[in-house]
Amino acid sequence: MYAIIETGSKQYKVNEGEVIDVELLFKAPEEKVVFDKVLLVSDKDKIEVGMPYVSGAKVTGKIMGDFKAEKVTTFKYKNKTNYHRTKGHRQPMTKVLIEEVSF
């Protein structure tokens, strides 16, 4: 059984027992989290697609902890003017263990 959920303006395909990295959720480690924006649920031969969300479907998980993603480097350069700038960014993320997919 798998589901497609929406969190942090992104969509993730999740299975039970899987660990996913999502945008930062402001919750403590070991705390439960419920994703109720479920776009699709599949159970072997039965598929339910929501418009936009599947009613009554939810995915529960447990927060494993927060971390920062790999650095993304941006570089600006203008020819013949001696202008160049380098910036870096590390996005805060949260690890979530998916415990149950239900509908």
Tallying the residues shown for the chain, one arrives at 103
Spatial CA neighbour of 67 closest among 20, 33, 100, 15? 20
For residue 58, what are the contacts with CB-CB under 8 A and spacing of at least 6?
34, 35, 36, 38, 102, 103
Pairwise CA distance, residues 24 & 66, whole Å? 7
pTM value is 0.84
Residue keyed to tokens 């479920």: 38
Using the predicted structure, report yes or no on whether residue 69 has a pLDDT greater than 90. yes
Structure confidence by residue, pLDDT tens digits, 48-62: 999 999 999 999 999
Mean pLDDT over each residue of the chain, to the nearest integer: 95
